[in-house]
C-alpha cells in the first residue's frame, strides 16, 4: 500500500503569524486567570512583545531573501501562504504599525479608564452604563487586536482566494467588535459597528460569489493558476469578468474606494479613536497588500479586461475623496475622506502593476505612520471627557498649546504632500512609477486631487495659528508615555521619510517582486 506524500511545512516562514496568534490565545487566558487590576500591564506587554518578535522573524526572512511557499508536497509548492518580498515587507509594516496602535489602545491618562467600555453587554445610556463609565476599560481589546493583526498578516501573504477569504474574515470580525466598544457616545459607536458589520457581510458574500466564478473559469482558486487560465482557459470569458468584479467589490470595500466607501466616515467617527487609527493605518496596508497580490499575481494576464473599470474607480476615489474632504467640519470625518482620497492614489499603484509595487508599499508605510499619529493627537484635544472633533474648537490651539499645534501642523503638511515630508516622498515615488507604466492620465488626476485635498489640511493649519482661541477652548491632555511614543514615532517617521527616504525606497525596491511573476 502506497503512503500518501508527506506535507512539508516551513515553520520558520510561518513564524511571524504563529507568534501573533499564539499571543492572541495567551491574551484570552490572561483574561481568565490574571486579576483585573493587573491585566492591562500584562496584556500590553504581551502584545508588544509578540509584535516585536513577529517583526524580528520577518526581518530574518527578508534578510535571507526568502522566496518560496510555506507548504509543499515532495518539492511541489502549494500556494496557500506565499513567502516573498512584498508579503514579508507588508507583514513587517503591519507589525510595526500595530505596535504603535497597541500603545494608543492602552492610553489611560487622557480620559479616566481609557476610551473603551468596561462591560460591552450593558445597555447604552442606562444607569449601569453610567456607573461603569467610571471603571477602567476592558482589556479584551488586546487579544482581539492581535487576532485582527494576525488576519492582516495572513491576508498579505495568501496565495489563493480561499486562504485570502479566511484571512479577510479573521481580520474583519474583531474589528466589528472593537468599533462598538467606545465608552463615550456609545449609541453612535454601536451604530458604527453595526453598519460596518452589515456592509462587511455583504462584501464577504460578493467575495465568495466571485471566488466561485473564478473557480469555474480557471478550475483552481490558486492565484497563479487563475493568471494562467486568463491566457489558456476555454471557459466562457464572462465567468472571469463576473469573478473579477465580485472579488474587486469586496477588496475595494476594505480599501474604502468609491463607490464602496460610504461606511468610512461614519465608522471612523463612531469608533473609538484608537480603533480608527488601527483601521486607517494597518487595515489600509492589509487591504492594498491583498489588492497588489491579486492583480499582479492572479490577474495580470487579463489586465486589458479590468484596466478601464479600475481606472474609473481610481479617478472617482481621488476626486470624490478630495472634494468631500473640503466640506468637512469634523476633524475625524476630514481624516476619513482623506483616507478615501489616499485609497485612490494607492489604486494608481495597483493599476500600474509591477512597475509600482515598491512605490505603493513605501506609500503604505509612510501614510500609516502619519495617520496613526494624527488620530493620536485628535484623541488628546478634549472638551471635558469628550474629544473636541469640531474644527471650530481647534481655533487658536497654537496659542494655547504650541507644542501640540506644531506636531499637528507637521502631520497636516505631510498629508497635504508638501516637500520635506513623507507625504511628498510617497506621492512623488508613486506618481513617478505610474508615469513609467504609461499611466499619465491617472497621474494628472492624482496631482489635481492632491491640490484640492491640500486645501482642508492648510485650512486646519491656518485655524491653529491665525485664529483666536475661544474663552472655553478645549484642553490638551498630557499623554502618558505610551501615547507620547505614538505621536513621537509618527512625527519622526514623517520627517525622516521626508528628508531621507532613500533607505526605505531601497528596501522596497529589493522586496517588490511577487513569487510567480
| pLDDT band at residue 245 using 50, 70 and 90 as cut-offs | very high
Across residues 474-487, what is the average pLDDT? 81
Nearest to 268 by CA among 253, 259, 257, 278: 278
Task: Identify the bridge partners of residue 68 per DSSP, sorted by sequence position.
Answer: 83
For the four alpha carbons of 175, 177, 178 and 182, in that order, the dihedral sign comes to: positive
The string of pLDDT tens digits covering residues 297-354 is 988 888 888 889 999 999 999 999 999 999 999 999 999 999 999 999 999 999 998 7
pLDDT higher than threshold 60 for residue 1: no
Contacts of 154 (CB under 8 A, 6+ apart): 17, 81, 163, 166, 167, 170, 171
> Is 70 exceeded by the pLDDT of residue 2?
no
Calculate helix-pair angle for 11-33, 36-63, nearest 10 degrees.
Answer: 180
Distance CA 102, CA 278 (A): 8
Average pLDDT over every residue of 89-113: 88
- Measure the CA–CA gap between 278 and 287, rounded to whole angstroms: 13
- Could you tell me the pTM of the whole model? 0.94
> What's the pLDDT at 382?
82
- Using left for φ > 0, alpha for ψ between -120 and 50, and beta otherwise, residue 264 falls in alpha
241-258: average pLDDT: 92
Per residue in 179-199, pLDDT (tens digit) is 988 887 888 888 899 999 999
Q: What angle do CA 179, 185, 190 make, to 5 degrees?
A: 35
Rounded CA gap, 71 and 90, in Å?
20
Cell numbers placing 497: 521619510
In which residue are the cell numbers 531573501 written? 65
The model's confidence at residue 35, banded by pLDDT at 50, 70 and 90, is confident
Does position 84 have pLDDT exceeding 60, yes or no? yes
- Residue-level pLDDT at 3: 65
In whole angstroms, what is the distance from residue 257 CA to residue 242 CA? 19
Among 416, 457, 464, residue whose Cα is nearest residue 328: 457
Residue 119 has pLDDT above 80, yes or no: no
Helices (H), strands (E): how many in the chain? 21, 6
Q: Which residues contact 209 (CB under 8 A, 6 or more apart)?
A: 246
- Look at residues 516, 517, 429, 513 and name the one whose alpha carbon lies nearest to residue 65: 513
Q: Where are the beta strands (DSSP E) in 380-437?
A: 381-383, 386-387
Question: CA-CA distance, 361 to 32, in Å (whole number)?
Answer: 39
Query: Tens of pLDDT along 456-466?
Result: 999 999 998 88
Given this model, what pLDDT does residue 251 score?
93
Strand partners, 73: 7, 76
Domain spans of the chain?
Answer: 7-510
pLDDT at 44: 93
pLDDT: which is higher, 109 or 451? 451
Paired residues of 72 in beta bridges:
8, 77
Amino acid at each position: 500500500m502506497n503512503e500518501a506524500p508527506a506535507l512539508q511545512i516551513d515553520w520558520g516562514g510561518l513564524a511571524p503569524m504563529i507568534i501573533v496568534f499564539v499571543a492572541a490565545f495567551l491574551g484570552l487566558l490572561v483574561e481568565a486567570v490574571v486579576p483585573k487590576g493587573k491585566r492591562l500591564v500584562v496584556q500590553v506587554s504581551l502584545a508588544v512583545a509578540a509584535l516585536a518578535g513577529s517583526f524580528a522573524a520577518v526581518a530574518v526572512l527578508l534578510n535571507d531573501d526568502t522566496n518560496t511557499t510555506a507548504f509543499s508536497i515532495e518539492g511541489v509548492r502549494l500556494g496557500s501562504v506565499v513567502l516573498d518580498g512584498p508579503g514579508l515587507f507588508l507583514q513587517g509594516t503591519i507589525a510595526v504599525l500595530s505596535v504603535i496602535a497597541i500603545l494608543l489602545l492602552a492610553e489611560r491618562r487622557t480620559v479616566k479608564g481609557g476610551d473603551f467600555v468596561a462591560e460591552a453587554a450593558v445597555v447604552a445610556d442606562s444607569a449601569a452604563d453610567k456607573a461603569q463609565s467610571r471603571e477602567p476599560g476592558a482589556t479584551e481589546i488586546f487579544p482581539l487586536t492581535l487576532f485582527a493583526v494576525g488576519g492582516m498578516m495572513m491576508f498579505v501573504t495568501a496565495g489563493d482566494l480561499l486562504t485570502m477569504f479566511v484571512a479577510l474574515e479573521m481580520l474583519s470580525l474583531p474589528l466589528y467588535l472593537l468599533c462598538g466598544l467606545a465608552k463615550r457616545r456609545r449609541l453612535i459607536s454601536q451604530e458604527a459597528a453595526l453598519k460596518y458589520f452589515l456592509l462587511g457581510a455583504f462584501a464577504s458574500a460578493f467575495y465568495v460569489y466571485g471566488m466561485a466564478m473564478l473557480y469555474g473559469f480557471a478550475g483552481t482558486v490558486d492565484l497563479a493558476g487563475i493568471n494562467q487560465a486568463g491566457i489558456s482557459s476555454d471557459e466562457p470569458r464572462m465567468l472571469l469578468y463576473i469573478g473579477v468584479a465580485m472579488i474587486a467589490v469586496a477588496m475595494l470595500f476594505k480599501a474604502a474606494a468609491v463607490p464602496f466607501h460610504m461606511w468610512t466616515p461614519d465608522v471612523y467617527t463612531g469608533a473609538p479613536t484608537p480603533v480608527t487609527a488601527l483601521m486607517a493605518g494597518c487595515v489600509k496596508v492589509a487591504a492594498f497588500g491583498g489588492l497588489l497580490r491579486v492583480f499582479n499575481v492572479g490577474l495580470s494576464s487579463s489586465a486589458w479586461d479590468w484596466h478601464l473599470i479600475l481606472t474609473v474607480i481610481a479617478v472617482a476615489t481621488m476626486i470624490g475623496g478630495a472634494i468631500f474632504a473640503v466640506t468637512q467640519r469634523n476633524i475625524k470625518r476630514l481624516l476619513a475622506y482623506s483616507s478615501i482620497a489616499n485609497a485612490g492614489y494607492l489604486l494608481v499603484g495597483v493599476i500600474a502593476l509591477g512597475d509600482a509595487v515598491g512605490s505603493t508599499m513605501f506609500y503604505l508605510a509612510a501614510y500609516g505612520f502619519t495617520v496613526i499619529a494624527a488620530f493620536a493627537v485628535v484623541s488628546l484635544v478634549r472638551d471635558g471627557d469628550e474629544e473636541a472633533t469640531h474644527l471650530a474648537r481647534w481655533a487658536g490651539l497654537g496659542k494655547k498649546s504650541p507644542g501640540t499645534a506644531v506636531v499637528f501642523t507637521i502631520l497636516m503638511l505631510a498629508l497635504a504632500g508638501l516637500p520635506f515630508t513623507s507625504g511628498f516622498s510617497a506621492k512623488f515615488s508613486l506618481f513617478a512609477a505610474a508615469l513609467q507604466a504609461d499611466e499619465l492620465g491617472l497621474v494628472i488626476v492624482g496631482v489635481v486631487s492632491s491640490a484640492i485635498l491640500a486645501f482642508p489640511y492648510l485650512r486646519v493649519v491656518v485655524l491653529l495659528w491665525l485664529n483666536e482661541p475661544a474663552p472655553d477652548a478645549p484642553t490638551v491632555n498630557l499623554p502618558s508615555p505610551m501615547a507620547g511614543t505614538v505621536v513621537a514615532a509618527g512625527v519622526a517617521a514623517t520627517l525622516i521619510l521626508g528628508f531621507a527616504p532613500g533607505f526605505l525606497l531601497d528596501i522596497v525596491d529589493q522586496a517588490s517582486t511577487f513569487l510567480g511573476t
